[in-house]
Each structure stands twice: as C-alpha cells, then as structure tokens.
Structure 1
Amino acid sequence: MSHAHGLRQTLVRKPSNVSTAMSVQGCLHRLLQFLSFHIAKIFGCTQMSSGSLVVNTAGVELAYIDSGAPPHASSYTTIFAVHGMIYTNQTFQKVLNVAPSQGVRFVAIQRRPFPGSTPFTAEELNVILTGGSSEAERDAQMAARGHEMASFVDTFIQKFKLPPLSDDGKTGGVALLGWSEGGAFPIAAIASSDTLPAHVQARLSSYVRSLIVYESAPPVLGFPTPTQNWAPLNDTTMPKNLRLPAFGQWSTGYFDHGDITLSSAHNLDSLSWVLSSPERVPTFYNIPVDQLKTITTYGNDALTDVPFLHFFSYQLQAVYSKVFNDTNIAAKFPHMKKSCLCGDKTGAFAVAGLWAVQDDQKENGTDANVSFKLIHGANRFLIWDDPEKAFHAFMDLV
C-alpha cells in the first residue's frame, strides 16, 4: 500500500479545473486497479479468508478457506475442493493463490473431524470405527456426510451470492472437486441430494457444472483393492502408529510406471506399486517443516479415514454407481460434467482408481459421459509442486 500511496502522490497534481481533476482521478483509479491485479498475480496475494458454515440443524460446522471473488469479475466459476487423507484443506493454499488472477474463486472445505470442523459424536464415531451393527447405520452415515457437503455448497452459494451458470455455460456455477479420499464426499453430496429440501435441490441442480474425481484410489469409489497394492497403511510389519506418517511421506513420491495412456490395456502389473522414482524428490521433503504442521494431521481426526474405507465399501460403491450410472441423477443435474483426473507419475493406487472407473463406464456403456485425463509428469501433489499446472488441469474439466 505504501508504493500505491507514493504513486498517488506523484501522479495527482493540483488540477486547473474540476474536469481535469476528475480525469486524473479516473486514470489513477484505473492504474491502481491494473497494478493491484498484477501485483496479486506476481506475488500470489489474494483475498484469502477462512471461516466455517453451519450445515444442519444439529449445528455441525465445516471450516473452509476461500480465495475470495476474483477482482473485477461480474461472473465467475467457483470450485469447491475436498481434501484427502492426512493432508488438510490447507494443502490447497497454493491453488487458492492462483485462482483469483485467473478469474475463478476457489474454496477448500475441511472435512469432519479435521481441525476447525465439528468432531464426530460418540455414536457417529462408533459406526465409522467399527462399522456399526447394520447396513442401515452405515447408509445413514454416508447420507449424512453427503448432506453436510451439499448443504455447505448451497449455504455458501446463498451467503456469498455466487454467480449462477451463464446461459452459454462458459462461466458461473460451481464445480465439485474431490482429491484422494476426498473424492467420495462430493459424490456422496450429489447422490444424497434427492433427500434434501426441494428448494436446495433446485439450486444445486442449476449451479453444479462439474464433478471431478482427482487422484482417488479404487476403494474410495467402492471398487476392490487390486491384489498388487502395497502401501505403508497396509504393512502389518510396520508399527501401527507409524503407518499414517509413513504413508503421508511415501504417497508424495514420483513413480515410474509403464504405459498408462488412457487407450492402453489396463495392466496393473505395469505400475510401480512400491518404489518411487530416483529422478525427483518426493514432495514431502520439499515442504518447510512449519508448513507441514499446518497441512498435515496424524491424530485422532485422521484415524477415521482408513476404517471408513474398510467398513463403508458397499456405501461408497452405491453412491458412485448412483452418480456415474443413474440416468435420474443425470436428469437432475443436466449441466454436470463428470471426470476423473490423475498424474502419470502418481502412486499406482490413483492410476488404478481412474482405470477402475474407466472400465466400469465401458462395461455400462456410459464411458462417453465421463472425461478421463492424465497429467504428464505429475504426482499426487501437483497442487503443491506446480499449482498453476494443477489449476489449469482442473479448469480443463470444469
């Protein structure tokens, strides 16, 4: 602001008349707008803010970080992103810095029970950690997670008066993005939306333009875990308290796979399931320690994700099938494009997830309704290593 103030003092001179003063002030205003826009772009400055929204009558809150509306845009698209295992919504902070200068608003939601969002109740926790006593209990929990996400998006749309989808479909509206395990939650939001109030359904139907599943493993979508799979999470020779931290480090590696073009045969044996590439250091080791403390969590809030995948496989497959294969959902969300995205240097589990969806869609004859995209040279943490490239990959599917 001191540079802008100095610039103002330099440019503004005593006008000879009122019209001259107004002309100078108008030019100055436009110049300051230009400078503020490009300074933000160069230095990554945004209107980023944080907060939380109440999403149901029980008072459950979901925290978020928000890039803010892009400057000088009368209409813009908003992307709602949901984080995965271990890594919190703060992992998206670099993408938030990119979005406004590209005319997009980016909101990263914090899942329950991660810091800032409402912890699970004892009853909810029991069902998640043990599977509860029935499919009905698990169905109810899945629907609740979906309702929470859908209600968050609907409440945010209203509170911040987000621009609706434009008539030509080029701008406005909202995209839902789920990263890694977070991929299950936007899907659940769409699947459970038909049990929300009619006015909420109508608003979401008119706003949702895209659903992007990003780097999600097969179990996140209810598909079986490949027999080739290895990860520290599943290594019973490793002390239990070290499995999450080990996975958090290992999963940020770059992996050298065989041919994984989308048109190739899906040979799971061609993937590098264990060893990462020596050609590039895993992202984890390039993140400053003080930032690691804000973007990772290994406590009780992170311990619910593994049993959730284990006990809720039927529910995860059900919501996936409903959203990706049910013509009723397609009719209720006529503007919603569906897509799967991952890097070609990511962990084998993410490639296997994309392939599982592609195979399922081909089997159902609906593959033309889903877009599939591989990002060349990208690992699971493109959002940190190259946020601009990640942002543009998202926008290709929005």
Structure 2
Amino acid sequence: MRTLFAFVSFIAFTVSPVYSLSQGSIVVDGNGVQLTYTDSGAPDSSPYTTIFAVHGMGFNGGIFSKIQALAPKQQLRIVAVNRRGYAGSTPYTPTELSIIANGTAEQGTTFYRSVGVELLTFMDTFIQEHDISVFNGDNRSAGGVALVSWSIGNIAGLAAIAHIEDVPEATKSRLASRMRTFIMQESSSNALGLPAPPQNWVPLDISDPTIPAVHQYTAFAQWVSAYFDHGDLSTRDPNVISWVVPSSFTPFTVFNMTRNQYDTIVDTSSNPALDAAQLALAPALESNYRASNFNSTVRSMLPQMKNWFMTGTRSASFGPYCIWVVEDDNAAAGGGFVDFKTIDGVNHLMHWDDPELALSVYESIIFS
C-alpha cells in the first residue's frame, strides 16, 4: 500500500530541505485517502523504538526533521505523519468540509472516528511493511511504538486512541502488542474539547477579529513560536501566565529558520484555518480526550500504553494552562491515568530549537 512518489511529487511535498529523510505515502481507507510521511529510517541495530509524530496547526511534519536527523543514533526511528491537507496528504472532501464548518455533535463523532481510524491504519500499515517489533513490557527495553501528538495534532492522536475498538481485530492486536507510550505534547484545552480560560488570546479572529484574515496564520506562526516570560507556574494561577505578549529577549523559533525551511514547513493556507474551525466540534473532541485517557475499556485495548502530557515553561499560554486542566481531570478520575512532565526553559517548538533536548525528553518518557 505504500507508494514512493515520482520525482515531481517528491519535490511537491518535500518538507525537509536540510536533512536526508525517506518519504512516501500510505493509503488509509477504501476511498484512496493517503497520508504522506517522512521517515528517519531504521537504526543500524535492532530492536529499536518507533515514534509516530503528528504535527500541529500551521506547521507540517517537517517541523520534526531535526529530531529525525538525530534519531537513528539514539536507537529510535521517527515517522512524521502529515495530517489531511498538509504536505501532499489527501485534502478533506466537500462532505467533510461541511461537517467541519457546520457539523452536529453526531456528525462530529462520525468524522473523528474516521480521522482516528485513518491514523491507526497508517500506523498498522507501517508496522507491517517495516516489521516493527513488539514491545516486551520492560520499560527499559527498546521495541514497540510511541505516538506523539503535538499541539492541535492532539485532535488526531486522541481520535486514534479513542477509536481503537473501531479497527479490525488484526490491527487492534498488532497495535496492542506494540503501543507503549502516548504523549500529548503542548495541547490547548480547546483541542481537548474543553473551554479556554477567559484570559485566553491568540492572534486569530476567535480572539481578535481586527487582524486581517490574510495575515492571521502568519501572525499565529510567529506568536506560537515565541518564548514567553510567565510568572511562577508552580502556583497554578492563570494570572501568572503571559497570555498575550512574548518575551522581548529571545528570538521566535521561526526566526531561526532559513527562508527555504520556513517555506516548506510553515503552512499559512487554508489548512490551519480548517484546524481552527474544528475546535467548534467540542463535544466530539472532549469525548475522544476522556475516552483516550480515562475510559478503562479503551485503555484495556492498549494494555501496555502509558499516557503522558508534557509542556514547556516558556511555551505559549495554552500549554502551561492545559497541563493543569489535565492534572485536575486525572485527579478527579482517581489518578494514575496520565503522567506529566514540564520542561524548563523551552517553548512550543522545542523539537526545532533544541532537538537534542527534545529527543532526550521523549526517551525519558518512553523508557520510564
């Protein structure tokens, strides 16, 4: 099912202009929907651990290319999956666009079942094609797979875990024997279907309709890649968060990109707008969030999987706030469902600005 693109297609969706990564696509349903990807490749020895990484709003899978370049030496394989519409992956159909724009709660549930099954099918197909090893249950050992969902990419990651029961038994069995870690990295509360706090602000029309539509996603890419000087986050007080204004003393991540890197990784077209529109499907998003983390039936289908939430102390406001929300939900559910990690000094794009640190954090979580 995997298709290596011809040279013209290869150029069309190249997202890693600096690092040498293999690229391809996997068909994920009977209608020919495909998800493109880049792959760091297998390390020289086995077993190794495979990370499937799902990107966020306005940045395609190329945002993971720096950690992909380092992965093989760490006995890791990183596969960056491009969500629908991004970097050559199949765009949404008119019916799907209608649901995103005006869908009912029931339609949202059906839509995200498809989104989740597509990602699970991608992972399972890659596992079969590359003979990815099972996980033996020893957290210190290599093998198996992890799923990292970054930012609004958590919409897809949570949909996948929540709908594990909706894939064929053979797929479910292969994933159950390999899935060791699910990392929610830097999600916002509204990507989980939960309310944003009253202080919340982003440079989009949901917060500031005075920003011209043509500039909103360029502004967002800059703002979300900034560093923020929050107050004492240990207080868990929303008022210590810098909700609007970034630090004046640390360059934004996008300022550390070459023009070629920016042009091939940052997407300010209709795709981020469609991501933002999906936040209105909150009932389905919340259902997926709660099922993936706190539903014992769903969790029992992936019995070796540990769930984590991670954020940086200098990330945009929604990350430090959301970790408190998930901590509270975890406690309300009785505890032990989700583990948490806060990384000092990093922003929302840690995997680009400090790939060595990012990789070490992923390793510390996966092998804990």
What TM-score, normalized by structure 2, do the two folds share?
0.92
Residue 174 in structure 1 maps to residue 145 in structure 2:
yes
Aligned positions of 1:54-73 closer than 5 A: 54-71=27-44, 73=45
Q: Is the 8 A contact 1:339 1:370 kept in 2?
A: yes
In structure 1, the residue matched to 2:314 is 345
Q: Is the 8 A contact 2:164 2:298 kept in 1?
A: no
In structure 1, the residue matched to 2:95 is 123
- The Cα of 1:265 is off from its aligned counterpart by 3.7
- The Cα of 1:47 is off from its aligned counterpart by 6.2
Q: Is the 8 A contact 1:344 1:374 kept in 2?
A: yes
Opposite residue 211 of structure 2, the aligned amino acid is M
Residue 231 in structure 1 maps to residue 202 in structure 2:
yes
**Matches of 1:131 and 1:294, distance apart in 2:** 31
**Matches of 1:322 and 1:301, distance apart in 2:** 27
Aligned positions of 1:325-340 closer than 5 A: 325-340=294-309
Q: How many residues align?
A: 346
Q: Is the 8 A contact 1:47 1:68 kept in 2?
A: no
**Matches of 2:64 and 2:127, distance apart in 1:** 20
In structure 1, the residue matched to 2:68 is 96
SS of the residue corresponding to residue 124 of structure 2 reads helix
**Matches of 1:235 and 1:47, distance apart in 2:** 40
**Matches of 1:252 and 1:47, distance apart in 2:** 24
**Matches of 1:46 and 1:235, distance apart in 2:** 37
Cα displacement string for residues 71-123 of structure 1 (whole angstroms, at most 9, x for unaligned residues):
1x120000000000000000110010011010100000000011210111111
Is there any run of 5+ residues in structure 2 with no aligned partner, and where? 1-17
In structure 2, the residue matched to 1:39 is none
SS of the residue corresponding to residue 357 of structure 2 reads helix
Q: Is the 8 A contact 1:114 1:302 kept in 2?
A: no
Residue 253 in structure 1 maps to residue 235 in structure 2:
no
**Matches of 1:290 and 1:139, distance apart in 2:** 38
In structure 2, the residue matched to 1:162 is 132
Q: Is the 8 A contact 2:19 2:66 kept in 1?
A: no
**Matches of 1:296 and 1:206, distance apart in 2:** 35
SS of the residue corresponding to residue 302 of structure 1 reads helix
**Matches of 1:246 and 1:359, distance apart in 2:** 32
**Matches of 2:102 and 2:330, distance apart in 1:** 29
- The Cα of 1:143 is off from its aligned counterpart by 0.4
Cα displacement string for residues 124-158 of structure 1 (whole angstroms, at most 9, x for unaligned residues):
11111x222x3221111110000000000000000
Match of 2:345 among 377, 383, 387: 377
Residue 276 in structure 1 maps to residue 276 in structure 2:
no
Aligned positions of 1:21-60 closer than 5 A: 48-60=21-33
- The Cα of 1:369 is off from its aligned counterpart by 2.6
Match of 1:206 among 165, 177, 180: 177
Residue 185 in structure 1 maps to residue 156 in structure 2:
yes
Evaluate the alpha carbon distance shift between residue 178 and residue 167 of structure 1 in structure 2; reply closer, same or farther with a 3 A threshold: closer
What percent identity do the matched residue pairs reach? 38
In structure 1, the residue matched to 2:216 is 243
Cα displacement string for residues 343-367 of structure 1 (whole angstroms, at most 9, x for unaligned residues):
100011111111111111112212x
Cα displacement string for residues 282-333 of structure 1 (whole angstroms, at most 9, x for unaligned residues):
11112111110000111123321111012x1111100010111111122111
**Matches of 1:105 and 1:317, distance apart in 2:** 31
Q: Is the 8 A contact 1:94 1:387 kept in 2?
A: yes
SS of the residue corresponding to residue 347 of structure 1 reads coil
Opposite residue 392 of structure 1, the aligned amino acid is S
**Matches of 1:179 and 1:78, distance apart in 2:** 16
Q: Is the 8 A contact 1:46 1:100 kept in 2?
A: no
**Matches of 1:210 and 1:70, distance apart in 2:** 20
Match of 1:307 among 277, 299, 305: 277
Is there any run of 5+ residues in structure 1 with no aligned partner, and where? 1-44
In structure 2, the residue matched to 1:109 is 81
SS of the residue corresponding to residue 146 of structure 2 reads strand
SS of the residue corresponding to residue 272 of structure 2 reads coil
Evaluate the alpha carbon distance shift between residue 212 and residue 167 of structure 1 in structure 2; reply closer, same or farther with a 3 A threshold: closer
**Matches of 2:192 and 2:312, distance apart in 1:** 18
Opposite residue 184 of structure 1, the aligned amino acid is I
| Larger Rg belongs to | 1
Opposite residue 144 of structure 2, the aligned amino acid is G
